[in-house]
Amino acid sequence: MDERGKKYLLGKSQEFQSDLGIISEEQIANASIGDRLTTHLNKEFKVIKPNINDFIDLMDRRCSILIQKDIGSVIAKTGLGNGNKVVDAGTGAGAIALNFGNIVGREGHVYSYEIREDFAEIARKNISSFELEDIIEVKNKDIKEGIDENDIDLVFLDLTKPYEIFEDVYESLNLGGHLVIYAPYIDQIETSYRIAKKLGFSDLAIVETLERELEVRPQGTRPKTRMVGHSGYLLFARKL
Amino acid sequence: MDERGKKYLLGKSQEFQSDLGIISEEQIANASIGDRLTTHLNKEFKVIKPNINDFIDLMDRRCSILIQKDIGSVIAKTGLGNGNKVVDAGTGAGAIALNFGNIVGREGHVYSYEIREDFAEIARKNISSFELEDIIEVKNKDIKEGIDENDIDLVFLDLTKPYEIFEDVYESLNLGGHLVIYAPYIDQIETSYRIAKKLGFSDLAIVETLERELEVRPQGTRPKTRMVGHSGYLLFARKL
Amino acid sequence: MDERGKKYLLGKSQEFQSDLGIISEEQIANASIGDRLTTHLNKEFKVIKPNINDFIDLMDRRCSILIQKDIGSVIAKTGLGNGNKVVDAGTGAGAIALNFGNIVGREGHVYSYEIREDFAEIARKNISSFELEDIIEVKNKDIKEGIDENDIDLVFLDLTKPYEIFEDVYESLNLGGHLVIYAPYIDQIETSYRIAKKLGFSDLAIVETLERELEVRPQGTRPKTRMVGHSGYLLFARKL
Amino acid sequence: MDERGKKYLLGKSQEFQSDLGIISEEQIANASIGDRLTTHLNKEFKVIKPNINDFIDLMDRRCSILIQKDIGSVIAKTGLGNGNKVVDAGTGAGAIALNFGNIVGREGHVYSYEIREDFAEIARKNISSFELEDIIEVKNKDIKEGIDENDIDLVFLDLTKPYEIFEDVYESLNLGGHLVIYAPYIDQIETSYRIAKKLGFSDLAIVETLERELEVRPQGTRPKTRMVGHSGYLLFARKL
């Protein structure tokens, strides 16, 4: 992090260059969390251990990623926790898989299906940079051809027509397991709801989350003018 | 779970009685997840492994608990994960500590401060019922007297005047660690914001989360008429 | 209005009875706005001139009525004003027609279509109680059989399948005139949007309005817990 | 309106020039609503009678104006109608006064206080362009020096410290009359609430209005991504 609060993501064995100057490979290799490093222009940088959100903000992202309010809703409403087994599709740059992997830990596992080879490659690189490659497996495979895993706690789908594989999802879930669909359009989520209901899923709910920020200024406090009006709907369903 | 979808929380060594009849202690002791048990009135019950939300819904709660939309926001925005160390206060019935414990797992730890002895007792019972007693430690102590722990990833406070202990919180956090405040009143959150800023916390944000549900009916789809208008605000701050 | 702030709606020639006592017909006939009348139980009532909202709150309502946030949106977005000509259907108890009539005044006119004779009767009684019978005409007629009026500034429809009469609406509007649809279901409003667009309406917009209240208490200020999650969507369209 | 749907505001005695060509003063002088005029570049323009919103969109505005959702809320919740007498301050470019004047009509009146002479001048020009100068009187005067009018139905204040004149407002209102405050900051509206309550105003409510738009696309229907997160709060209070 530089003096302006801007953060950078570095590997151990590389020189760092920015408009505030250069930090040598040697400096970086020897740095510990909390150290202050000085560039050749005499600017100071602080060494911080990235958490999952810092990492996702800075990693290689070539496609849109789920926003935090929606990820939070998925985690809280499914009660996702340490040791759980998760299937997600499509992987994209791996952001949601990273979130899941960060929670389920070494006792759990994430199987992430991505049909596009280039996305799968980026996701794998991101996952191994954050050292979750033992927990998250990216499968370069169309999930419509079948889900290989069983006894899954959570299947999360961010696909155009997720309902095409609901029968397969039902098979792969354990008793009590959750299916969660993310979809921006009402029509997608409505169709998903009707089909999930017909297939015997329980505890169905369609939820959207709106997030507002307050700003505290010298004159007073008020909600911010800018606000995300919509990202997507989440359908929650459970095998009971 | 009975035929109507209503769920019950049972220990292994007890008889179960309801308006749908009795299930013997022996039946329960021998049951596995997925089994169907029959009462003396010939009603069927399904055996389901409770996840964290089932458990919190059914456990002994004597005080109001944070709702899922707010818990989700805390988890997603702090990037809480496996192996993290968390301090929370006040414990109440233990719901938020259970959520944290479920995520940080055996490699992490939750220290939960509760000033009232009766609440601490209920929380301990709930935590050991869900078998997280090795992960979550309930301390029957006023957090204003000091935070005993160091190198903490997240301090979560649900107190009337949380800002009274922000200096102490700053000391206990590791570099990159998060402080999160939950407060229903704007005035509380505004004061917390100003004090956290003065003490050098970074990345300050006040967030409120609104959750809307859609209902799918034969006539069409629409948002539900009922909606929670407000629970509380969350202040996020970080030691950087 | 009694001492508790409760309001009552009275005609000029009637005795008033309540749990706080009786006020004679003579007292009421001679009362002016601002007077205080005393019952035989020595309780005081204040005489207030009802405005349109007081009146609608207290009048005979046998069916659900549009809520103020939606009425406000219709008025503000169409720029409804003095002298405008309005068609609305269905009338119901006459609440929306009263709102329109209160604004367009004697230089304007409201033609309100209601298929059910009983509703039309109630609406006429309500309208003449508020002395807007010269401005608002209730027509006990199915609007699907045709709109008799021309050169209309605003057609407002609160019907199950409003899109069945959009061609007729287009004919009846003047250049610049507005069509507004109120519908609780997304499917209704989506179909209305697509058909209005196909028929050449301009400036289409679908809007929903959410209203939150703040409460000021001794402990502080906060949004109210209770909130209406949804009433309906409004489709705005214009003949240009 | 040109062929692209863009609108222009014209007086009767002027030539019109745009990138689509010139329309002569004579053509404009002879045009009626609904006519199509052709420029020297053979582009067609349609003649439309502006309603209040078209006018406000196109008029000279040098300061921020209230948005429609808030104007609608004021009108609907106060039951503003034909014949009412209104006081507003500050005038700004006259947008809210135009809205009020458009509704109260010739039987009503709007007294609009503006402390800055330049704003008062712009407002007067805008008001006479829309031919409401007989209904709306712009007073270039500090409303803190006193409200000259009595028996007012609605006092609307968009000032930094509106509560400084609440006693004066109370005097100027008729029985049943409304005070409405618009303020972006919570602190302003909270102070206004507490002072209005102390002075004996009734039926106090603080309201904020959020507006969401749906968009209908070939792929489906969804709320728009963009949304105004906050404009201001409205305090409603009544003299009863």
Interchain pair C229, B213: CB under 8 A: yes
| C-beta separation of B67 from B18 below 8 A | no
Interchain pair B216, A194: CB under 8 A: yes
pLDDT at C100 exceeding the cut of 80: yes
Among chain A residues, CA nearest to B106: A82
Alpha helices by DSSP H, listed for chain D, are 25-30, 52-58, 68-78, 95-104, 117-129, 166-172, 186-198
Among chain D residues, CA nearest to C229: D210
Task: Report ipTM (2 d.p.).
Answer: 0.89
CATH class of the domain comprising C1-49 = alpha beta
Task: Report residues of chain D scoring pLDDT below 50.
Answer: none
Nearest chain A CA: its distance from D57 CA (Å): 21
Task: Using alpha carbons only, give the angle D87, D88, D93 rounded to the nearest 5 degrees.
Answer: 140
Q: Can you name the residues that pair with A22 across neighbouring β-strands?
A: A17
pLDDT digits (tens, 9 = 90+) for A104-148: 999 999 999 999 999 999 999 999 999 999 999 999 999 999 999
Among chain C residues, CA nearest to D153: C51
Interchain pair D186, A220: CB under 8 A: yes
Nearest chain B CA: its distance from A184 CA (Å): 13
Residue with tokens 């002016």: C32
Rounded CA-CA distance C174/C179 in Å is 11
Task: Report residues of chain B scoring pLDDT below 70.
Answer: 12-13, 62-63
Contacts of D221 in chain A (CB under 8 A): 185-187
State residue D12's pLDDT score: 65
Contacts of A222 in chain D (CB under 8 A): 184-186, 230
Question: CA–CA distance from C9 to each of B170, C14, C129 (Å)?
Answer: 62, 11, 10
Contacts of C187 in chain B (CB under 8 A): 219-221
State residue B50's pLDDT score: 78
The residue type of B149 is E
Contacts of C77 in chain D (CB under 8 A): 53, 68, 72
Among chain C residues, CA nearest to B160: C219
Rounded CA-CA distance A89/A141 in Å is 10
Contacts of D207 in chain C (CB under 8 A): 211-214
| C-beta separation of A68 from A100 below 8 A | no
Number of B/C CB contacts below 8 angstroms equals: 59
Candidate from B188, B213, B228 with C-beta closest to C225: B228
Q: Which residues contact C215 (CB under 8 A, 6 or more apart)?
A: C221, C222, C223, C224, D206
The domain B54-238 having CATH identifier 3.40.50.150: the answer here is yes
Q: Is residue D185 within 8 angstroms of chain A, CB to CB? A: yes
pLDDT digits (tens, 9 = 90+) for C152-185: 999 999 999 999 999 999 999 999 999 999 999 9
Interchain pair C230, B219: CB under 8 A: no
Dihedral angle sign, alpha carbons of residues D154, D155, D158, D160: negative
Q: Token pair of A171, please? A: 């098979």
pLDDT digits (tens, 9 = 90+) for A190-236: 999 999 999 999 999 999 999 999 999 998 999 999 999 999 999 99
Q: Is C25 exposed, middle or buried (0-12, 13-18, 19+ CB in 10 A)?
A: middle
Q: Given pLDDT bands bounded at 50, 70 and 90, which one contains residue C12? A: low
Select from B230, B231, B233 the residue whose CB has the most chain C CBs within 10 Å, as the one to mutate to test that interface: B230
Q: Is A107 annotated as a binding-site member?
A: no
Select from C82, C174, C188, C227 the residue whose CB has the most chain D CBs within 10 Å, as the one to mutate to test that interface: C82
Rounded CA-CA distance D50/D64 in Å is 21
Candidate from A186, A212, A213 with C-beta closest to D220: A186
Candidate from C34, C74, C240 with C-beta closest to D1: C240
Which residues of B are known binding-site members for S-adenosyl-L-methionine?
Answer: 114, 142, 158
Q: Is residue A213 within 8 angstroms of chain D, CB to CB? A: yes
Contacts of C205 in chain D (CB under 8 A): 213
Nearest to D156 by CA among D90, D62, D76, D108: D90
**Integer Rg of chain C from CA:** 21
Domain positions in chain A are 1-49, 54-238
Among chain D residues, CA nearest to C74: D72
Question: CATH topology of D1-49 equal to that of D54-238?
Answer: no
Q: pTM (2 decimals)?
A: 0.90
**Integer Rg of chain A from CA:** 21
Rounded CA-CA distance D182/D172 in Å is 19
| C-beta separation of C208 from C184 below 8 A | no
Q: Is residue A211 within 8 angstroms of chain B, CB to CB? A: yes
List chains adjacent to chain D, taking adjacency as at least 3 C-beta pairs closer than 8 Å.
A, C
Q: How far is CA A90 from the centre of its chain?
A: 11
Interface of C with D in 75-134 (CB under 8 A): 75-83, 99, 102-107
Q: Is C111 exposed, middle or buried (0-12, 13-18, 19+ CB in 10 A)?
A: buried
Dihedral angle sign, alpha carbons of residues A138, A143, A148, A153: positive
Interchain pair A103, B83: CB under 8 A: no
Candidate from B75, B190, B213 with C-beta closest to A206: B213
Q: Is residue C186 within 8 angstroms of chain B, CB to CB? A: yes
CB neighbours of residue A91 within 10 Å: 30
Candidate from D221, D222, D227 with C-beta closest to A227: D227
Contacts of B211 in chain C (CB under 8 A): none
Rounded CA-CA distance D167/D156 in Å is 14
Candidate from C49, C76, C213 with C-beta closest to D176: C49
List chains adjacent to chain B, taking adjacency as at least 3 C-beta pairs closer than 8 Å.
A, C
Number of A/B CB contacts below 8 angstroms equals: 183
| C-beta separation of A194 from A187 below 8 A | no
Interchain pair B186, C228: CB under 8 A: no
State residue B62's pLDDT score: 67
Select from D36, D52, D69 the residue whose CB has the most chain C CBs within 10 Å, as the one to mutate to test that interface: D69
Helices B95-104 and B68-78 pack at an angle, to 10 degrees, of 40
Q: Is residue C206 within 8 angstroms of chain D, CB to CB? A: yes
Q: Which residues contact C74 (CB under 8 A, 6 or more apart)?
A: C80, C156, C180, C182, C234, D72
Candidate from B184, B221, B228 with C-beta closest to C186: B221
Q: Which residues contact A171 (CB under 8 A, 6 or more apart)?
A: A147, A150
| C-beta separation of D201 from D170 below 8 A | yes
Among chain B residues, CA nearest to A209: B211
Nearest chain D CA: its distance from C184 CA (Å): 13
Among chain C residues, CA nearest to D202: C5
Nearest to B110 by CA among B82, B142, B135, B81: B135
Q: What is the mean pLDDT of residues C1-5?
A: 77
State residue A25's pLDDT score: 83
Q: What is the mean pLDDT of residues C77-99?
A: 95
Interface of D with C in 43-72 (CB under 8 A): 46, 48-54, 68-69, 71-72
Nearest chain D CA: its distance from C47 CA (Å): 9
Residues in chain D: 240
Q: Is residue A216 within 8 angstroms of chain D, CB to CB? A: no
Select from D1, D35, D51 the residue whose CB has the most chain C CBs within 10 Å, as the one to mutate to test that interface: D51
